[in-house]
Structure 1
Amino acid sequence: MIRLEDLALFVRTTAHGSFSGAAREMNLLPAQVSAAIKRLERELDIRLFARSTRSLRLTAEGEQYLPYARKMLDTLHEAQQCLQREKTELQGTLQIAAPSDFGRNLLLPWLSDLRRNHPQLSLRVLLSDQIADVFRAPVDAAIRYGRIADASFIALPLAPDNQRVLVAAPAYLEHHGQPATLTALAQHRCLLFQIRGRVHDRWVFQENGTQRQVVVSGSMISDDAEVVRRWALAGEGIAYKSWLDVSQDVREGRLQVLLEQCGGEPAPLQLVCPHRQQFSPAIQQLYALVKARCAQLTRNP
């Protein structure tokens, strides 16, 4: 008889591409994962993986069996969710990935509100500006900026009209003045964000109905968007940030929006799930909460 635990380990091993990766996620030893795969292979009387000392890949039979394994696990998960929908109290563990700046300054207090209403719900929050792979990473949902073109994801809008804005602290503007045009940004100290080794030094705007790209420069670069925001607050230069990330700073006078007549680059915020079956009651409540709170902050700069 096929064990569901073995089936789940097979699916996670294919996602990680190794026994050790699946073992780390499931808090097991690699040998335990290997034994589970061997049991499954004996039950099916097929070879699922071609193994060598340096690689692990699916066989043709493994490739054929994988979608059925996923479907069986998804069906089981959906049945469990159906049984839980009658419960008003959320339980279990909700694992969320979110951008660093948005996560620290907005999402964390909102999650505290969710926990107060559902004290039986456990949260695991991963904050990083690296894009989480919701198929490989151990998360139930990810909050992401940008448009999602991959049809294999379930992407639900949280703040579809959000844009980027130019901001600087009053202290910086007092010493360096405000840029009167986009061209003048070249004469200012700009605070730059880096992701996957690429520095984002080409800022995109809409000026007089035309898209315009401006090349900027600066001596302060970080791969953490929250660091860029803190530099801006400290008066170190001009930042190009999502409105959601700086809206409270602007409203409270810590930052000032510049060149408002130039529309910033769209930065829609979305909630991403790998499968619709994983849109659990906990994720539904998270989605409704974050969408409502974002609507209170969103504006057209």
Structure 2
Amino acid sequence: MLRTDDLQLFVRAAELGSLSAAARQLDLSPAVASAALKRLEAQLKVRLLARSTRSLRLTAEGEGFLNHARVALASLEEGRRALAQGQAEVSGVLQLSAPSDFGRNVLLPWLDQLQQAHPLLNVRLLLGDRNADLFRQPVDVALRYGTPEDSSLVALPLCPDNRRVLCAAPDYLARHGQPATVAQLAEHNCLLYQLGGRVHDQWRFSDGAATQTVLVRGDRFCDDADVVRRWAVAGVGIAYKSWLDVAADVKAGRLEVLLPGVRGEAAPLNLLCTHRAQLGKPVQLLRDELKARCRHLLEPLLAMTG
């Protein structure tokens, strides 16, 4: 069977008119190049190149074989590229659960781009703020904020440095002013989030080594985190939200971050699954994409908080 590297050497030598020049381009020693050409000629039982110490030319048989060698090498390269593309292509079904706000306003456009790049990928998305039961619901993985309560789950960090931030619309701040301290939140309408029947009305902050908890009040609460963000954008109060959820609103000027020197609660984003065997190509692709995109979203927060 003819060797590909021998064919490459023959074609390159014919194009350059020099066996030594071909050897240099292919990073071969002159002795190895000469042995390769002799091996090819022995297998074909013809002389392909007439060579002397100063010149090299194709024989009639070499001229006839040269085009076949080029076609063979081009076909092999095309097959290699097709194989690499097939190995890189991601297909199958990606079944995942995600929080309502992050899912609707951050994840959805990312998934659209992911499917445009990988048209064989199908997505099944469940949105909701309650923790998905990965052992019962038809999902492979779940995106969730905070430390997983179930220690039997595999948790892969996507954005471990994400935090909650205080934010409000410029219109609200123009009417009510900005709180100068977290204690002054008691004087403002705070938009509350309810999960599992419990209203989250105790907002925790840290300033260096000290931790401060503030009991807040407001005229509305909802069990959908996206609704809380929408209320904040509408200018009806102050929200305490994951930075990932409001980064686009802050960038667009719809919301302003309040008290940026005060560190909000940690809100790490994790990818959860029941077993590492579920980390197939679609999930690995999702994880890598989310880590890169979340890291980019987090840069302004790190610049504000240091």
- For normalisation by structure 2, the TM-score amounts to 0.69
**Aligned-pair CA distance for 1:193:** 0.2
Q: CA deviation at 1:284?
A: 0.2
Deviation, structure 1 residue 207: 2.4
Q: How big is the shift at 1:184? A: 0.6
- The answer to whether the aligner puts 1:207 opposite 2:246 as a matched pair is no
1:120 is the counterpart of 2:84: no
Aligned to 2:286: 286
Deviations 1:259-287 (A, max 9, x none): 11211000000001110011011100000
Tell me the C-alpha RMSD between the 2 structures.
Answer: 1.4
In the other structure, the counterpart of 2:138 is 138
Amino acid at match of 1:234: A
Q: 1:91 to 1:208 in 2, by over 3 A?
A: closer
231-240 or 86-95: bigger deviation: 86-95
Correspondence for 2:174:
174
Shift >4 Å, 4+ stretches: none
Q: How many residues align?
A: 217
One-letter amino acid matched to 2:157:
P
Amino acid at match of 1:280: G
User: How much does 1:151 deviate?
Assistant: 3.1
How far apart, CA to CA, are the structure 2 residues paired with 1:267 and 1:196? 18
Match of 1:268 in 2: 268
Any residues of structure 2 matched to 1:146-157 within 5 Å, and which? 146-148=146-148, 150-157=150-157
Q: Distance in 2 between matches of 1:151 and 1:191?
A: 31
For 1:150 and 1:170, the matched residues in 2 are separated by: 40
Amino acid in the other structure paired with 1:174: A
> Which stretch has the larger CA shift, 243-252 or 231-240?
243-252
TM-superposed deviation, 1:182: 1.0
User: SS of the residue aligned with 2:125?
Assistant: strand
Give, in whole Å, the separation in 1 of the partners of 2:201 and 2:260: 20
Distance 2:214 2:262 in 1: 12
SS in 1 for 2:289: helix
Counterpart code for 1:227? V
Pair 1:97-2:87 in alignment: no
Q: Tell me by how many angstroms 1:87 deviates.
A: 3.4
Counterpart amino acid of 2:278? Q
Question: Matched residues in 2 for 1:174 and 1:283: separation?
Answer: 45
Deviation at 1:248, TM superposition (A): 1.2
Tell me by how many angstroms 1:296 deviates. Answer: 0.3
1:189 offset after TM fit, Å?
0.2
Q: Which amino acid aligns with 2:170?
A: P
Instruction: Give the distance between the partners of 2:202 and 2:151, measured in 1 at CA.
Output: 28
Amino acid of the structure 1 residue aligned with 2:246: V
Larger mean CA deviation between 192-201 and 129-138 belongs to: 129-138
> For the residues of structure 2 that align with 1:87 and 1:142, how far apart are their CA atoms?
26
Q: Distance in 2 between matches of 1:164 and 1:176?
A: 22
| 2:175 alignment partner AA | H
Extract unaligned runs of 5+ from structure 1.
1-85
Structure 1 position 209, deviation (Å): 2.1
Q: 1:208 offset after TM fit, Å? A: 4.1
Please list every run of 5 or more consecutive structure 2 residues that lacks an aligned counterpart in the other structure: 1-85
Q: Distance in 2 between matches of 1:91 and 1:287?
A: 15
Distance in 1 (CA, whole Å) between partners of 2:118 and 2:255 is 35
Given residue 287 of structure 2, which amino acid in structure 1 is its aligned partner? Y
Tell me which structure has the larger Cα radius of gyration.
Answer: 2
Q: Which residue is equivalent to 1:232?
A: 232
Aligned-pair CA distance for 1:150:
3.3
1:147, CA displacement in angstroms?
A: 1.1
Counterparts of 1:111 and 1:208 in 2: how far apart (Å)? 38
Q: Which amino acid aligns with 1:219?
A: D
Aligned to 1:160: 160
Q: Is the partner of 2:110 in helix, strand or coil?
A: helix
Cα-to-partner distance string for 1:198-220 (whole Å, 9 max, x where unaligned): 00000000024201110000011
> Could you list the per-position Cα deviations for residues 82-106 of structure 1 after superposition, in whole angstroms to 9, with x for gaps in the alignment?
xxxx733222211110001001111
CA, structure 1 residues 149+220, in 2 after alignment: closer, same or farther (shift >3 Å)?
closer
Asked if 1:111 is matched to 2:95, the reply is no
Distance in 1 of aligned mates of 2:248 and 2:117: 25
Identity over aligned pairs, percent = 56
Amino acid at match of 2:226: E
Q: Which moved more, 1:90-99 or 1:185-194?
A: 90-99
Q: C-alpha distance in 2, partners of 1:249/1:193? A: 19
The AA in structure 2 aligned to 1:91 is S
Counterpart of 2:277? 277
- 1:41-80 alignment to 2 at 5 Å? none
Letter in 1 for 2:183: T
Q: Secondary structure at the match of 1:249?
A: helix
